[in-house]
């Protein structure tokens, strides 16, 4: 008998040109043959992608190529957009997110999202997190809630800066602090996947550095998908990279490999700065 345990990974989509590191842990998110439309405008074309667990995957590509649309497919935020239609399959931890049993509220908790512009609620720092937690757990008691608020702020590297002003308005925080508060708010409801859509686009280099350091730590516990225009940022923090162009996912692989030896001419041209 063969006593070597075989690690069974979910099947990697074979269509397309994705090159995926199959040696890593099972996929947190898989897309297979995903196409999508806003009305008659097709914006994703047969996208196959595998997002490894507890790694940082960077989605790169020129503006308008469908990166944000792809993120919104993963937690079904496109459902909120009139005229949106999707084909193909997206699974999170093996479960089809469009399946009949799926609880969309639970899905959006499992797959948290942070946007380009920090969007704290116009209320206190404490309530920004408490509101998100109470929405999912209405009967939570105050002590437990206090504990979750503190832990989430610590996990988002913000606690020391706000612990004396929890009742102050979140809008009084700096942009970088607001973005870390949004990350704390996403973490407070215990997600498994954290998606960030150009989270540093409006931040200065120091605030950006703090977010990058934070993401590198969060990677030990969460699967992170980040859209970034900043190739240096992708190089600094991502393990895996996927290059999108005009709605197609042209190439995926370990970041160092894609940067050093892109398989596609289009990827090389983008990395050289030939695309906007
Ligand atoms: N809510 C929407 N309604 C209609 N078209 C949209 C919407 N959001 C994005 N699009 C279109 O989809 C295409 C891809 O956009 P997007 O996913 O935002 O790209 P990226 O994030 O790569 O810049 C663009 O042509 C954009 O105009
Ligand atoms: Mg975008």
pLDDT at residue 3 above 70? no
Does residue 274 have a pLDDT over 80? no
Arithmetic mean of pLDDT, 108-122: 96
Burial of 115 (0-12, 13-18, 19+ CB in 10 A): middle
Q: Which two tokens stand for residue 109?
A: 């908790």
For residue 156, tell me if it sits in a domain: no
Q: Which residue range forms the structural domain that includes residue 69?
A: 27-120+191-271
Domain assignment present for residue 186? The answer is no
63 lies in some domain = yes
pTM above 0.75, yes or no: yes
**Quick one: which of 139, 221, 161 has its CA closest to 186?**
221
Asked if residue 252 belongs to a domain, the reply is: yes
* Helical segments of 39-139, H only: 67-74, 104-110, 125-136
For the chain, the maximum distance between any two Cα atoms, rounded to a whole number of angstroms, is 65
Over the stretch 83-106, which tens digit does the pLDDT of each residue have? 999 999 999 999 999 999 999 999
Model pLDDT for residues 241-255, shown as the tens digit of each residue: 999 999 999 999 999
For 47, the 3-state DSSP assignment is strand
- Residue that the structure tokens 């437990």 belong to: 144
- Quick: pLDDT tens for 151-208: 999 999 999 999 999 999 999 999 999 999 999 999 999 999 999 999 999 999 999 9
**Residue 91 pairs with which residues in a beta bridge?**
30, 96
227: CA distance to ligand 2 center in Å?
7
Residue 26: which pLDDT band, with cuts at 50, 70 and 90? Answer: confident
- Assigned domain for 8 exists: no
Q: Are 77 and 54 in contact (CB under 8 A)?
A: no
What's the rounded mean pLDDT across residues 211-225? 97
Pocket test for ligand 1, best of 63, 66, 198 (most atoms within 8 A of CB): 66
Burial letters 11-36, b for 16+ CB under 10 A, else e: eebeebebebeeebeebbbbbbebbb
Pull the structure tokens for residue 133. 């937690």
Q: Which atom of ligand 1 is nearest to the CA of 66?
A: 17
Residue 15 scores a pLDDT above 80:
no
The answer to the question of residue 220 being in a domain is yes
User: Does some domain include residue 14?
Assistant: no
Closest ligand (CA of 198): 2
Check pLDDT > 90 for residue 21: no
Is residue 176 in a domain?
no
* pLDDT > 90: percent of the chain: 88
In 3-state terms, the chain is what percent helix, strand and coil (to 5)? 35, 25, 40
Q: What is the pLDDT of residue 79?
A: 93
**Does 19 score more than 90 pLDDT?**
no
Closest CA to 91 of 175, 33, 18: 33
* Ligand 1 contacts CB of residue 69 (under 6 A): yes
Ligand 1 atom closest to 72 (CA): 17
- In the chain, the number of structural domains is 1
Can you give the CATH number for the domain in which 261 is found? 3.40.50.300
């Amino acid at each position: 008998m063969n006593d070597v345990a075989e690690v069974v990974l979910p099947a990697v989509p074979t269509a397309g040109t994705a090159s995926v590191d199959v040696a890593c842990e099972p996929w947190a998110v898989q897309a297979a043959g995903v196409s999508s439309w806003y009305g008659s405008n097709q914006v994703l074309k047969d996208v196959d992608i595998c997002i490894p667990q507890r790694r940082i995957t960077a989605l790169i590509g020129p503006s308008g190529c469908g990166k944000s649309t792809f993120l919104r497919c993963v937690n079904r935020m496109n459902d909120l957009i009139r005229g949106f239609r999707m084909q193909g399959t997206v699974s999170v931890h093996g479960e089809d997110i469009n399946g009949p049993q799926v609880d969309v509220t639970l899905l959006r908790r499992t797959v948290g999202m942070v946007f380009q512009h920090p969007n704290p609620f116009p209320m206190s720092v404490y309530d920004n997190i408490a509101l998100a937690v109470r929405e999912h757990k209405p009967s939570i008691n105050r002590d437990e809630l206090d504990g979750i608020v503190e832990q989430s702020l610590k996990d988002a590297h913000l606690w020391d800066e706000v612990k004396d002003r929890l009742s102050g308005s979140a809008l009084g925080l700096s942009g970088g602090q607001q973005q870390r508060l949004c990350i704390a708010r996403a973490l407070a409801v215990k997600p498994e996947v954290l998606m960030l859509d150009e989270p540093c686009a409006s931040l200065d280099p120091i605030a950006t550095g703090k977010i990058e350091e934070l993401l590198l730590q969060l990677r030990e516990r969460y699967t992170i998908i980040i859209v970034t225009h900043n190739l240096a940022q992708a190089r600094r923090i991502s393990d895996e990279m996927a290059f999108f162009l005009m709605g197609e996912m042209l190439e995926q692989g370990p970041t160092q490999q894609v940067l050093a030896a892109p398989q596609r001419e289009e990827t090389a041209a983008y990395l050289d700065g030939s695309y906007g």
